[in-house]
Amino acid sequence: MDIRTYEIHGFTEALIENGLIVPTGIAGAYGRGPVFEDILRRFDDLVTRTAAPDNAQELMFPPILARALIEKVGYMDNFPQLAGSVHSFRGSDQQARELSARVHAGERWEDLLAPTDVMLTPAACYPVYPTFSGLLPAGGRLVTVMNWVFRHEPSDEPTRLQHFRMREYIRVGRPDEVVAWRDAWLQRGLELLRGLQLPVDSDVASDPFFGRAGRMMAANQVDQRLKFEILCPVISREKPTAICSFNWHQDHFSGKFGILNADSSVAHTACLGFGLERVTLALIKTHGYDPADWPQTVRAQLWP
């Protein structure tokens, strides 16, 4: 057992023993106990208060998304390994009896299903871009969403979840507006997290593009400094965990959804997202399993 494995097991066991998480038998899909949820919600509220002066418009989408949208944004080209496609049964009485018989015989039955019009939302910001289509008001727009996000990467590492919550802010406007907003929030995010006494740093980063072609796309993304992350040691010091990320998409979404600035130039978009479970785990790892024992300055911000 190497040090990394040891740390994962020790941390997970302590989270379970302290009632912070509840095993479900599925890797990366544990239940969250009341104290875990309280920390998560308090942090989300702190982000909301921090962002309040910006007057973001708040929208809520279900954790499912149009299949056509996933196809349109190129997700199946870039991240097919992470996608979750939703399939359902639309057969007859007789086929239903066969399905049921196969379940009871321990045989596979999923070939009796057909794809639906929806997939699991892979990024909380995706449903927002189509709502920007057309001419933007001067100054662009700012939207915030919180949503469950699915990534098919089952793992026993407690920060690598199959389904988790992201609090995102999505900015659309002129390139200079969008980049200034991203830069300001990178600083604001670091200050917010350091204010909670988390040992965080930022770095350029890349998305987990699939396969050999994907490695080149990831290298390009780093070269162009399109993605930044805020990292915090949770499982290991050597490989800190990304708990917040910043993506500048340039005209990727605006081109696809016809999003134009007030002067009819093509808009740019950027987003930032806090991984709410990861921030929660970073706080627990840094300050301990019982929030009652956390430093008073940290408690004062989360439980004001």
Give me the residues that bind a second copy (CB under 8 A), please.
Answer: 22, 24-27, 29, 31-34, 36-37, 57-66, 68-69, 71, 76-77, 80-91, 93, 96, 99-100, 103, 108-110, 113, 115-118, 120, 127, 130-131, 148, 150, 152, 154, 161-164, 210-213
Which amino acid type is present at position 141?
A: R
Please, how many CA atoms are within 13 Å of residue 27, restricted to the half-sphere of its CB? Answer: 10
Alpha carbon distance 233, 225 (integer Å): 22
Q: How far is the CB of 145 from a second copy (least distance, A)?
A: 9
Tokens of 279: 């921030």
Who's near 106: CB < 8 A, 6+ residues apart?
none
Alpha carbon distance 34, 39 (integer Å): 9
DSSP SS3 for 230:
strand
Alpha carbon distance 269, 177 (integer Å): 10
Contact (CB, 8 A) for 33 and 158: no
Alpha carbon distance 171, 184 (integer Å): 12
Q: How far is the CB of 56 from a second copy (least distance, A)?
A: 10
How many other CB atoms sit within 10 Å of the CB of residue 68? 11
Q: How far is the CB of 238 from a second copy (least distance, A)?
A: 28
Q: How far is the CB of 196 from a second copy (least distance, A)?
A: 21
CB nearer to a second copy: pick between 229 and 277: 277
CB nearer to a second copy: pick between 50 and 131: 131
Q: How far is the CB of 8 from a second copy (least distance, A)?
A: 19
Q: How far is the CB of 144 from a second copy (least distance, A)?
A: 10
Q: How far is CA 130 from the centre of its chain?
A: 19
Q: How far is the CB of 3 from a second copy (least distance, A)?
A: 28
CB nearer to a second copy: pick between 34 and 304: 34
DSSP string, 3-30: HHHHHHHHHHHHHHHTTSEE--SSTT--
Q: How far is the CB of 270 from a second copy (least distance, A)?
A: 20
Dihedral of the CA atoms 250, 255, 257, 259 (nearest 10)?
Answer: 70
* End-to-end Cα distance, the chain: 42
* Sheet strands side by side (includes 201-204): 57-58, 141-150, 163-173, 268-275, 241-250, 227-232, 201-204
